[in-house]
Amino acid sequence: MAPLDLLNLLWTIWMVAWLVAARWTAKTVVRQSVAARLTHGLLVSAGALLLFGRTGTLGPLVRPLFPPAPWTAWTGVALCAVGLGFAGWARVLIGRFWSGGVVLKADHALIRVGPYALTRHPIYSGLLLALTGTALVRDSLGGLLGLALLFAGAVVKLQQEERL
């Protein structure tokens, strides 16, 4: 299997698992405003489009950043797998208190075990590692710009969560 094919499979498995798990969450008691959701949502959407989209018509954005080397792509796949695994571990532990948005759940509890003992935001940490690996596999200026926008979106969302 080629690195890009394996990368796509990893992200597909992650997406399906994440969507299935999203069905079992606690009741939301506080939700952020639409304007706040748009702030990080636009950054994440633009970043995802550049990183995951077909950018073949975007000229210089598709030029390779690195000389062709199989180890670069396979390193990216490994980073993606480790990052998605770490984020998945954190998602399992946070359980019904998880949300895709910045919200407060009923009976909210602070999780301090597993990956939450290692970092304050393990889901973001894992996903950003996976996205970095994805950018290595995609090997393009567009992918790098997409990664930067995704990082910016994560920072904005983290700041919004800290204020909640």
DSSP string, 116-137: GGT-S-HHHHHHHHHHHHHHHH
**Chosen CATH of 3-163 out of 1.20.120.1630, 3.40.1260.10, 1.10.10.1100, 3.90.1150.10:** 1.20.120.1630
pLDDT for res 155: 93
Residue of 89 and 21 predicted with greater confidence: 89
| pTM: predicted TM-score of the whole model, two decimal places | 0.89
d(CA 44, CA 127): 12
pLDDT for res 138: 92
- Whether the pLDDT of residue 107 is over 90: the answer is no
Name the amino acid, one letter, at 87: A
Nearest Cα to 90, choosing from 113, 65, 59?
113
pLDDT for res 149: 97
Residue 55's pLDDT band, with cuts at 50, 70 and 90, is low
Q: What is the mean pLDDT of residues 96-125?
A: 80
Per cent of the chain over pLDDT 70 is 90
pLDDT for res 102: 66
pLDDT for res 148: 98
Residue of 114 and 55 predicted with greater confidence: 114
* Torsion from C-alpha of 102, 103, 104, 108, nearest 10 degrees: -70
Residue of 25 and 82 predicted with greater confidence: 82
Q: What is the mean pLDDT of residues 129-142?
A: 95
Residues 6+ apart with CB under 8 A from 49: 146
Three-state secondary-structure class, residue 103: strand
Mean pLDDT of the chain: 87
Domain boundaries, the chain: 3-163
- Whether the pLDDT of residue 41 is over 80: the answer is yes
Nearest Cα to 3, choosing from 66, 89, 90, 60?
66
Residues 6+ apart with CB under 8 A from 18: 91
Residue 37's pLDDT band, with cuts at 50, 70 and 90, is confident
Helices (H), the chain: 3-21, 34-52, 70-94, 122-138, 141-163
